[in-house]
Amino acid sequence: MSGPAAELPIEHLLRELAPQVLGAIARRFRDFSSAEDAVQEALLAAFRQWPKEGIPENRRGWLIRVASRRMTDMMRSEIARRERESAATPEEEPAIEPVEEIEADMDPEDTLILLFMCCHPALSPSSAIALTLRAVGGLTTVEIANAFLVPEATMAQRISRAKQSIRTSGVPFRAPNPQERGERLPAVLHVLYLIFSEGYASSIGAQLQRLDLAREAIRLTRGARALLPEDTEVAGLLALMLLTDARRRARTGLEGELIPLDKQDRSLWDRDEIAEGTALLTLALSKGTVGLYQLQAAIAAVHDEAVQAADTDWPQILALYELLQRVAPSPMVTLNHSIAAAMVHGPARGLERLRLLDGDERMRGHYRLDAVRGHFFEMMGDFRKAVQHYRMAAARTTSLPEKNYLLTQAARLEETASEPNS
């Protein structure tokens, strides 16, 4: 019954398998909402049965069989309900495909297909991205809300409305054709970027990183590149992920504590990932059109080129952020632009740039605004204000490693400020 993957915790296996199974079921039955319910029931059954009976060799097939039977039951139940309500002539029994045929027709890239399917034309880009993060990325509503800088309740309503919109639109929930793939690609890339970001720097919980999410985002982006090899933004996104993921081993200490970029042991950086990411970026940039992900990848490449933190070419990074601000302005771009400005022109310039975000509803109360402000005050030697902002940031973050790091920074500065010669 069990195989090598059985050594992994069952919840990790199920999280990895869930989007693959949902992709197969939604693609064949073309009913996303019902497919999601059926897959959830299959996952629950696995969670109850596998610990007692052992993990099956064909895990995905087991889940697909259970979910397919549940879908069949739901379809028959819905037909019976309509017959009772209308007192009409009995409807013809739906043509239910045998489970074996569904398994035989499974696509190895069902997760990638599901990703494109979720970016449905009946949805706004933000709703499509939120729904896809839930279905494909397995992110919680809280994590998705953090990524969008909105309250959890707002995001829960958005996801619920997205499902309802698909159900009532009349547009089939099916794998898109090549033209539709092109139209949905920007939303797909945004989803992949957010899945990777949550994996690289988890916004909630005790772990700084979720390796399963980061790896799945890279795998899916490789799949998107194989599907669209000439698209420069797909290449740029994959380059960005590789150039960022290359630093993963150096980002945490022995106790899982956060180690900031300027304090990392750069000998731990993955040089193969850096080489692959740099080659991808160089190829993409040579084709002339420069977009959001290529610019972010270029910034990551400049960081990765520096042998020591002191060697970082901050003027080049500042120039890239200024271009990024014109191509794709956002609060986070402004925040990171302020850091580059502070490193080139001094912390006063950084504080000046941060004031642009004070009136932004999306950033109000966001921990990173206070964390960066605290860093700038520390650079200026105003330790009292730095401590104040570090503590405010620590109170607002939902990531335990981030909280511990910020509190450590505050405690260190309080100790420095209390020394006689400080």
**What is the DSSP secondary structure assignment for residue 93, as one 8-state letter?**
P
* More confident of the two residues 325 and 78: 325
Residue bearing the bigger pLDDT, 346 or 30: 346
In this prediction, residue 4 has a pLDDT band, given cuts at 50, 70 and 90, of: very low
Q: Is 229 helix (H, G, I), strand (E, B) or coil?
A: coil
Greatest Cα-to-Cα distance within the chain, rounded to the nearest angstrom: 92
Contact (Cβ atoms closer than 8 angstroms) between residue 308 and residue 266: yes
From the number of C-beta atoms within 10 Å of its C-beta (0-12, 13-18, 19+), residue 264 rates as: middle
Cα dihedral sign, 260-261-262-265: positive
Rounded Cα–Cα distance for residues 24 and 100 (Å): 12
Under 8 Å between Cβ of 264 and 249: no
Query: CA–CA separation, 112 vs 90, rounded Å?
Result: 38
Q: What is the pLDDT of residues 37-84, one digit of tens each?
A: 898 899 889 989 998 888 898 888 899 999 998 988 888 887 777 766
- Residue 7 has what pLDDT? 44
pLDDT (tens digit, 9 = 90+) per residue, 248-279?
999 999 888 999 999 999 999 999 999 999 99
Question: Tens of pLDDT along 244-254?
Answer: 999 999 999 98
Residues recorded for the chain = 422
**CA angle, 299 then 303 then 306, to 5°:** 140
The sign of the CA dihedral 34, 36, 42, 48 is negative
d(CA 219, CA 210): 15
Helix extents (H) in 308-399 = 314-327, 331-345, 347-354, 367-380, 383-396
The answer, yes or no, to whether residue 6 has pLDDT greater than 50, is no
Q: Which two tokens stand for residue 28?
A: 């064949």
Per-residue pLDDT tens digits for 115-161: 888 888 888 878 888 888 888 877 788 888 888 888 899 999 998 88
CA-based torsion, 79, 83, 88, 89: positive or negative: positive
For 405, the token pair is: 């790091």
Question: Over the stretch 172-211, which tens digit does the pLDDT of each residue have?
Answer: 777 788 888 888 899 889 989 988 998 899 888 888 888 8
**Rounded mean pLDDT, 19-39:** 84
Note whether 334 and 325 are within 8 A (CB): yes
For 220-235, the pLDDT digits (tens) are 899 889 888 999 999 9
CA–CA separation, 10 and 48 (whole Å): 10
Q: How confident is the model at residue 213 (pLDDT cuts 50, 70, 90)?
A: confident
